[in-house]
Amino acid sequence: MRFLVLILFIVSCSENSSQYFPLDKVKTWSYSVEIIPEVENRALYKKTHLSMGEKKISLNEEKKKLFPILREDGTTLYYEILDDGIYRVGKKFLKEKSIKTESKRMVLPIPLTLEKTWNVDSETYLILRKYPYYDYRATTNFKLNYKVASMKETVNTPSGTFKDCILIIGNGETNFIGNNEIGSIGIKIYSKEWYSKAIGLIKMERIEETDTDLFGTTKMVQLLESYQKF
């Protein structure tokens, strides 16, 4: 009896997390993305993610139950649901035949509980300075520390208003070593991600703040514009 209760608890926890990051059915998410730099012009663009449902895929010569998501640039990301969380485990670029294995990057933990913490490997990607003949982007690796901050958020998006969303906050810091002219740059990173049950990610904000006026602070806001199941 205790064993049965334990099994039911594990299944319910898994379903709880996967409801906020649904991967089992074919569906699309379309987002608007606004980049708001302090020293450059704003940029606004669209992006679309297509979930292809559950697939049996060979990864490191082992058949696994994976969930691929195709992005608008042709890149496919591969996710796996394990006992302790939903992970991104691989990537395949357009026209490549094989999947590039990544170190597991947790998207959501299992069980999904208030104040739950974890960290992932990440990199800066917003900090940009345009010069006449080239663009200089400050890209460096760091640890992003996540925490489940709320499970009762109400979020307004172009796709509608969503209640009882979870809010994941993240923070980290790193240093970027530039050329002789730029030198060392201190960077602080702040992120917020809102997930709605049965839909997934509906809003994300990210700030990369530098300690130099040369790059300043850049903010990104991503909002769900439409969602469709097939």
Structural domains for the chain: 2-229 (2.40.360)
76 CB contacts (<8 Å, ≥6 apart)? 68, 69, 70, 91, 92, 99
Phi–psi pair at 195, nearest 5 degrees: -120, 135
* Residue pLDDT tens, the chain, 230 long: 544 333 333 334 445 788 999 998 899 999 999 999 998 899 999 999 999 999 999 888 888 899 999 999 999 999 999 999 999 999 999 888 889 888 889 999 999 999 999 999 999 999 888 888 778 888 999 999 999 999 999 999 999 999 999 999 999 999 998 777 788 899 999 999 999 999 999 999 999 999 999 899 999 999 999 999 88
**Cα–Cα distance for residue pair 219/222, rounded to 1 Å:** 10
Name the amino acid, one letter, at 135. D
pTM: 0.90
Token look-up 């996540």 returns 146
